[in-house]
Structure 1
Amino acid sequence: MNLAFKPAGAALALAAALAVAVPAAGIAQEKMVGGAAMLPSKNIVENAVNSKDHTTLVAAVKAAGLVDTLSGKGPFTVFAPTNAAFAKLPAGTVDTLLKPENKAQLTKVLTCHVVAADAMAAVIGKMIKDEGGMHKVKTVGGCMLTAKMSGDKLQLVDEKGQTATVTIADVKQSNGVIHVIDTVVLPAG
């Protein structure tokens, strides 16, 4: 099963599978990201703006005009690169992407980090196992990522062949989940 736009039946199956990942009391646990508590009652944008490790991502989301989208109902799974992940890009790349004339390219890069599903790490891990060690993930931006495991760490390989590792998994949001990653994933072109 690809993590992508799914019909209602698949969404219900995914929701049922995710129910096992929720604590017994049925209350999502908050996690700390970038020195701030990520509250499950807040949406992706409301939480991300409080993380000191995601200021570049927040600036990029604003520049791309994606605030309303990522504040919407969802569900979304966001693989959220840290400031350090953006710093790994060649010098000047972030500044160039943030220019208004590059909004389309920035939007493409950012939407390659978003999946239209609420996928917790255990669910993705099961898909990887069920598919023999790799699972294709189609993003909202049309990118095809390959999810795999390295020991107990979830990793994503982008269309350029570079690998991002999930450093903080399962940060539950009111409209989905964030998985913090250490590398910006990029489209092929």
Structure 2
Amino acid sequence: MPLGRIAFDPRRAEHELSSFKDWLSARATFKERAALTEIRARPHIACLLAYGFVPTPNLIRFEFGVKGLFRADLAIGNDGSRSFVLIEFEGGEEASLFSGGTRQYRHWSRQIEHGFGQVVDWGWAKHDHPYDAAFTNAFGGKVVDDSYIVICGRDPVAGSLEERRFDFRRSRLSLSGVTVRFFTYDGMVRAMSDNLDSIRW
């Protein structure tokens, strides 16, 4: 299904963000489905996440299909600039970022690698046939600019090797020139708060 319209409201976003922070602080871990249910119920904070990647968001779709082959958990866009952000959510569990390996050096988890695999497929879908009708119809027209976000896990222990590894992954990746960002759920909330402050009415 194509993206639908949303009239972004910063005041509603502020209220939704406050209630989501309460939800997040009340649990140490949670499954992807639980997080998606909470975010789906708060579409204006979803728009907050896209600020900085697109102008004021006015397009949104959860479970957004890409060429009938791939799916993004959430797509946010601005119709005027034809810019879009595709977002993949993973779990907020203890092993969502790292699992296996040794106590000194754990492996990246299946969840975060799955999220990055989704990003690679989205990038391929655009690169392979950027003007294909199945691709452009989903976006309601051409795609001028796009970015990708993966949300996974909770913050690693401050000062740890895992925090440094995640920080590098979070801030240094791109795919064929397209921005890719990784956030923990805690980092996502901080980014939303910063974006809300930057557009304070």
The two structures have a TM-score, normalised by structure 2, of 0.32
The one of the two structures with greater contact order (alpha-carbon pairs below 8 A, sep at least 6) is 1
Q: Which has the larger radius of gyration?
A: 2
1 or 2, which has the higher helix percentage?
Answer: 2
